[in-house]
């Protein structure tokens, strides 16, 4: 079997073809809600302008077998992280403020301490909703046939599901409208996989709403960031829930909820106060709290923001995610899951779980991991080197990171892009990292992506519509595949009944000169898939 030549991508276009495709692509994006609010701040309350989201002109090649494998793995990941979130002892050890990452990472510690207080009060989360995204890169070490390697697993604010569906539809449209001028035999209809992420994610929110056993007029609360530019990615879910499930949403920031949110002291139901000319009752009851924020310390500029977050958690509304599930998405958890026997603890214990996974399934999951270790570990690569940390000496984990720096990335317990330290920057960073903070960082072997793969990237930087901002840039790229899934599960004993689905995918593409990969942070563009054999 011949292996696809990634260096042959993208196909060559004439200047006339490139200009025509750009017009088709940007017009389609603006016509079909593939949009961002412009970068000008502060944003007006009533939007008056929008720009198309950053996008790739061609879909990016992904081997068919690896795409199918990623979808297959998602079911196991959905169950795995649901079980991790229910294992309080495991999370206390790995992420807690007494023995884990929360001791040295203030943000993680704040979340864990709030969760601990709620547990001490006897507040139990009956149901948790996770909307997940598992991110992968193609790994092609020494020009070997590519394999699938996980970058990270997201348990909070897994974004761009809806806009990713729109960009996959855009690429299908470009093929129907132009056949891409027959520049590649791979650009055939059967190689454009269907992406139905909007309906899929909405189905998870609707399942949680139905499980709340609520009156028909309850709503889903979306907790947003201030000056949210990625609002259309969220609005498409709102429209889908209203049109297909007759469920309404309400959107508020933590700062707004500080004034409007209240929990009934008897029933623990969550209510949000609204003006009486919007709702005669003056309030709405909330069935599901869907967090599209609260994943970064900048979302908590004052202590009252944490107080409000914990107030929401104290209610009977189903959280997406709960504090436990948010903590389960920590990078340290990802590293610990790669240690010997830990996956088996969650996936193969027949005494604890009625459904177990086979050795082959677990090995497939483990094969998607890159090598990882904590900077605090000793020579056994498992336990922290307490003596070295106390004395200020370098741990084995730090020495190993120095020695292998050119093939590593260092990751803190943060989401949202722009937080990692790469390759040549690692030694200098380690020189400044206080010994007590080592436990908050993990080292991960870099994924080696196929070389010399390219694409045409289009960004719209403002509402001015200048031709310069719309000019496609041909550059070598790295494309990251994300698979979406959702899970609805509860504390019904150790063997919680996990209802889960795999519901769609995205591709984010960036120039090889950029280490980071966030679209919202400006590093990447939205993309889709062309399946290759």
Annotated binding site: 133, 152, 154, 156-159, 228-230, 234, 292-295, 331, 411-420, 422, 444-447, 480, 508, 510, 516, 519-520
Which of 149, 331, 332, 400 is catalytic? The answer is 331
Is 508 a catalytic site residue?
Answer: yes
Q: DSSP class of residue 54?
A: P
Contact 324, 91 (CB under 8 A): yes
Is 133 a catalytic site residue?
Answer: yes
Is 411 a catalytic site residue?
Answer: yes
How far the first Cα of the chain sits from its last, in Å, is 9
Q: Which residues sit in the known binding site for Mg(2+)?
A: 152, 154, 415
d(CA 13, CA 514) in angstroms, rounded, equals 25
Is 159 a catalytic site residue?
Answer: yes
Helix, strand counts (H, E) of the chain: 17, 21
Nearest to 475 by CA among 511, 508, 514, 517: 511
Which of 78, 82, 140, 159 is catalytic? The answer is 159
Query: Phi and psi of 474, rounded to 5°?
Result: -85, 120
Tokens at residue 275, please?
A: 């003006």
Peptide bond into 391 cis (omega under 30): no
Is 184 a catalytic site residue?
Answer: no
Instruction: Report DSSP letters for 373-428, one per residue.
Output: EETTB-TTSSSB-HHHHHHTPPPHHHHHHHHTGGGEEEE-S--SSS--EEGGGHHH
Query: Phi and psi of 343, rounded to 5°?
Result: -60, -40
Count of CB atoms within 10 A of residue 173's CB?
Answer: 15
Angle 89-156-369 from CA coordinates, rounded to 5°: 70
d(CA 345, CA 74) in angstroms, rounded, equals 18
Q: Which residues sit in the known binding site for ATP?
A: 152, 331, 411-420, 422, 444-447, 480, 510, 516
Q: Which residues sit in the known binding site for substrate?
A: 133, 156-159, 228-230, 234, 292-295, 508, 519-520
Which of 82, 154, 214, 368 is catalytic? The answer is 154
Is 248 a catalytic site residue?
Answer: no
**Edge-to-edge strand list for the sheet holding 372-374:** 372-374, 442-445, 408-411, 421-422
Percent composition of the chain: helix, strand, coil (DSSP 3-state, to 5):
40, 25, 35
d(CA 25, CA 31) in angstroms, rounded, equals 10
d(CA 412, CA 438) in angstroms, rounded, equals 9
Which of 411, 439, 455, 501 is catalytic? The answer is 411
Which of 69, 78, 152, 191 is catalytic? The answer is 152
Instruction: Enumerate the β-bridge partners of residue 489.
Output: 128
Which of 69, 83, 103, 133 is catalytic? The answer is 133
Name the residues annotated as catalytic.
Answer: 133, 152, 154, 159, 331, 411, 415-416, 508
């Amino acid at each position: 079997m011949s292996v696809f030549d990634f260096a042959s991508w993208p196909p060559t276009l004439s200047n006339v073809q490139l200009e025509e495709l750009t017009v088709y692509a940007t017009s389609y994006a603006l016509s079909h809600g593939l949009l961002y609010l412009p970068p000008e701040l502060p944003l007006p309350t009533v939007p008056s302008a929008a720009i198309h989201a950053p996008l790739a002109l061609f879909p990016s090649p992904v081997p068919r077998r690896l795409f199918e494998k990623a979808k297959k793995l998602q079911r196991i990941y959905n169950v795995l992280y649901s079980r991790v979130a229910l294992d309080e002892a495991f999370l206390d050890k790995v992420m807690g403020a007494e023995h884990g990452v929360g001791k040295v990472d203030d943000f993680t510690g704040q979340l864990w301490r709030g969760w601990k207080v709620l547990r001490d009060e006897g507040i139990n989360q009956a149901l948790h909703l996770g909307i997940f995204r598992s991110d992968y890169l193609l790994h092609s070490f020494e020009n070997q046939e590519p394999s699938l390697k996980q970058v990270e697993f997201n348990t909070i604010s897994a974004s761009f599901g809806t806009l990713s569906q729109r960009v996959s539809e855009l690429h299908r449209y470009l093929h129907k409208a132009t056949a891409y001028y027959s520049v590649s035999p791979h650009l055939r209809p059967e190689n454009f996989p269907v992406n139905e992420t909007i309906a899929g994610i909405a189905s998870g929110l609707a399942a949680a709403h139905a499980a709340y056993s609520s009156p028909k007029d309850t709503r889903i609360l979306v907790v947003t960031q201030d000056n949210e530019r990625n609002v259309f990615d969220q609005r498409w879910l709102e429209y889908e829930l209203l049109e297909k499930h007759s469920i309404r949403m309400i959107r508020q920031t933590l700062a707004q909820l500080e004034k409007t949110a209240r929990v009934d002291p008897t029933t623990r139901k969550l209510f949000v106060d609204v003006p009486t000319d919007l709702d005669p009752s003056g309030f709405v009851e909330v069935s599901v709290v869907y967090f599209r924020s609260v994943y970064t310390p900048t979302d908590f500029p004052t202590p009252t923001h944490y107080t409000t977050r914990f107030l929401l958690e104290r209610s009977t509304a189903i959280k997406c995610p709960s504090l436990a599930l948010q903590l389960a998405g920590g990078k340290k958890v990802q590293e610990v899951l790669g240690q010997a026997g830990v996956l088996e603890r969650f996936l193969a214990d027949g005494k604890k779980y009625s459904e177990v996974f086979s050795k082959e399934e677990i090995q497939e999951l483990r094969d998607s991991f890159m090598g990882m270790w904590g900077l605090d570990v000793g020579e056994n690569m498992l336990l922290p080197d307490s003596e070295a940390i106390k004395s200020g000496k370098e741990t084995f984990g730090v020495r190993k990171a120095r020695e292998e720096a050119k093939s590593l990335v260092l990751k803190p317990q943060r989401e949202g892009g722009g937080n990692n330290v790469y390759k040549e920057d690692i030694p200098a960073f380690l020189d400044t990292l206080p010994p007590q903070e080592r436990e908050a960082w993990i080292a991960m072997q870099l994924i080696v992506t196929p070389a010399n793969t390219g694409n045409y990237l289009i960004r719209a930087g403002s509402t001015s519509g200048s031709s310069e901002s719309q000019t496609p840039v041909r550059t070598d790229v790295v494309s990251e595949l994300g698979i979406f899934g959702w899970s609805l599960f509860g504390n019904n004993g150790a063997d919680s009944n996990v209802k889960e689905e795999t519901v769609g995918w995205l591709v984010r593409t960036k120039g090889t000169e950029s280490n980071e990969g966030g679209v919202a942070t400006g590093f990447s563009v939205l993309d889709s898939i062309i399946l290759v054999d």
